[in-house]
Amino acid sequence: MARMNQVVSNVVANSRRANSPIPLLLIGLACIVFWLLASLLEIQTSEAFLLHGAVVTFNPNWSILRQPVDLVQGHLSADMAKAAMWGWGIELIYLVCIVGHEIAHEGVRSTNRHLAGWFTTGAVALIAFDAWTNFQYGQLASGVWGQVAFALVTAFIVAFFGIVGLRLIEHAITDWTR
């Protein structure tokens, strides 16, 4: 009888179990891929602004991922080094504000409480400027509203898809190991 109760208990528990974690894993991975693509496009539009370059097409430049290493090793021209610092700097400010603004703000405040307000104001201004460069340098053949849509969706993807993607992957792995 005890064995029968155990079998019934297992069947009931499994019937209440959520669906397969594979969709969560796949959607989480897709979010991470799109977060990476949007981040690369944002860095490219920021660099295009600083270099007075052409508008950015929807072909992510994967060599951008190597820029921090090239910068540290001194392999970038002066103009490209400035553009890389600008593009990566704004992107990191954006990500710090998304992932850990409270921690960063408290760190600045503990060092100099007068600079804490400037930190937040500067971060918001730079993020707004980043959206403007996405609007100006992200190429869509759909007019002004297409440019607005590109700037908004890119900002949304960078702001949320990395965090959401990681959480979905974490949840899928947790479900899988149960």
Q: pTM above the 0.85 mark?
A: no
Is residue 163 a part of any domain in this protein? yes
Sequence length of the chain is 178
Q: Report d(CA 104, CA 93) in Å as an integer.
A: 10
What confidence tens digit (pLDDT) does each residue in 74-93 have?
999 999 999 999 999 999 99
Is residue 148 a part of any domain in this protein? yes
Is residue 83 a part of any domain in this protein? yes
Structure tokens at 14: 């499994």
> Which pLDDT score is estimated for 11?
45
Structure tokens at 68: 């921090």
Is residue 164 a part of any domain in this protein? yes
What confidence tens digit (pLDDT) does each residue in 18-27 have?
578 899 999 9
Q: Which domain holds residue 152?
A: 43-92+133-177
Report for 54-63, 64-73, 128-137, 141-150: range of highest mean pLDDT: 64-73
Is residue 4 a part of any domain in this protein? no
Give the total number of structural domains in the chain.
1
